[in-house]
Amino acid sequence: LLGAWVFGAKWCELWLAIDVLMCTASIMNLCLISLDRYWSMSRALVYHRQRTRSRAALMIAVVWFLSAGVCLPPLLGWRKPQVSEVRCELTDEIGYVVYSSMGSFYIPMLIMVVVYAKIFQRARQRVRRRQLIHSVNMAALRNSADQLRTRTSSKPSSSKSVSPGDTDRADEKSDCAVTERRNQSEEEEEDADEGIVPVDSEADGGGGGGNSTVVEPLTELSEALQRKRRLAKAKERRATLVLGLIMGAFVLCWFPFFTTYLLHILCRCVSHLVFDFFFWLGYCNSAINPVIYTVFNKDFRQAFRRILTCRA
């Protein structure tokens, strides 16, 4: 605002160290979130048991420790003397510039790209596997329903006299079969995308009326599987969108700054105006990330709500 730094060299060094600390911690926390998602997907059962509060606190502490390792060297002497008293600028010591750029951005970016690529690959494999299982389930259901319809249509409507007692027993048996099939259908609908839906052949043995009523739950189950398939595709598109937004915002905001940071030291060919613009663009990433995560992730929304309302 004043157009010059008026707080002296020591405060400038401290402010720059805190600035590097916060930016590096922000980037490394994004890297940690990507690793957390990958471990949750690749080792779901084991990792969810291990992901305790103490372990999460330890991982966050490691992030801040690594961030401190990037920001502290200039305070310990790895810098060139401050030339201007009216400007507070990042050190132009070439060794530290390369070190801090690698630690603050390029290494975390490489980790995030690899991890999110693996997450996307695993998600695609899971969707393809579920689609294959869905196809087998649908084929089995259609075949079973066709067999039931064929057997029903081939049987005479009434070929002999039936006593009232036999009719009652047959109706009772048919009702039991239909109830059992509906209960099984509900269980199979819950696990439809994890395994092959079994088709019970005992239902074929009843009378014509029993077979026709058994076809209805099979049709309902077929429609339920189709709904699950559409939901799986929608989730895949949503996951792809979120991953694209996270990586896109991260790279677009920080890559220009760290590239111009290196060029500014190596060739002095970047104007102060361009450098300052990309500097503030990097800050914008820390403001964008909470919006991206809370809009598209229910867990983050709930966590932010607990934090803002001071609830544990």
**pLDDT, tens digit (0-9, with 9 covering 90-100), for 138-154:** 666 666 656 666 666 65
Tell me if 51 is assigned to some domain.
Answer: no
Tell me if 301 is assigned to some domain.
Answer: no
Structural domain boundaries enclosing 172: 129-155+164-230
- What's the pLDDT at 160? 45
Closest CA to 30 of 297, 295, 290: 290
Tell me if 41 is assigned to some domain.
Answer: no
Tell me if 260 is assigned to some domain.
Answer: no
* C-alpha span between 304 and 292 (Å, rounded): 13
- What's the pLDDT at 254? 93
Is the predicted pLDDT of residue 116 greater than 70, yes or no?
yes
pTM of the model: 0.65
Kindly state the percentage of the chain with pLDDT values over 70: 62
Report how many domains make up the chain. Answer: 1
- What's the pLDDT at 203? 41
- What's the pLDDT at 304? 80
Tell me if 195 is assigned to some domain.
Answer: yes
Q: Which residue has better confidence, 291 or 213?
A: 291
Query: Rounded to whole angstroms, what are the CA distances from 142 to 135, 215, 220, 279?
Result: 11, 10, 12, 61
Contacts from 265-269 at CB under 8 Å and sequence distance 24+? 265/92, 265/94, 265/97, 266/94
Tell me if 21 is assigned to some domain.
Answer: no
Q: Which residue is it, tokens 């310990």?
A: 76
Q: Which residue has better confidence, 190 or 301?
A: 301
Is the predicted pLDDT of residue 103 greater than 90, yes or no?
yes
